[in-house]
Amino acid sequence: MKPTLSQNCPLCGAGAVFYFVDYEERKYFKCPHCGKFLVTRRAEPKLAEAPAGWRERFSELAKNPEEGYVLDISVLPPAADGSERTSEELTPEYLRKSDLSL
């Protein structure tokens, strides 16, 4: 069993627990309000800066995955033209749990 750490949920702010996965590139959160979801290291600070509506949307997505899937919140690669991206670069995607070492 992986050691869990406590942290406020990056989506709703409630007390949550997480553990690292994917060579510590992702956190697997378990939140009493949002459920279970993954956040990459690059995406977590972007979530803090994102409009509340984005976090609420991701929370709803995390609560309602299809059976055997989990929400993964990541950041799109930098723009090819070098321009700065906004919070719109955050991208939610459902991943199969069986493809992950949770």
pLDDT digits (tens, 9 = 90+) for 36-75: 999 999 999 999 998 889 999 999 999 999 999 999 999 9
pTM of the model: 0.86
CA distance 5 to 2: 10
CA distance 71 to 94: 4
In this structure, what token pair is assigned to residue 20? 């690292």
**Whether 16 contacts 6, CB under 8 Å:** yes
Minimal CA–CA distance to 91: which of 80, 79, 77?
Answer: 77
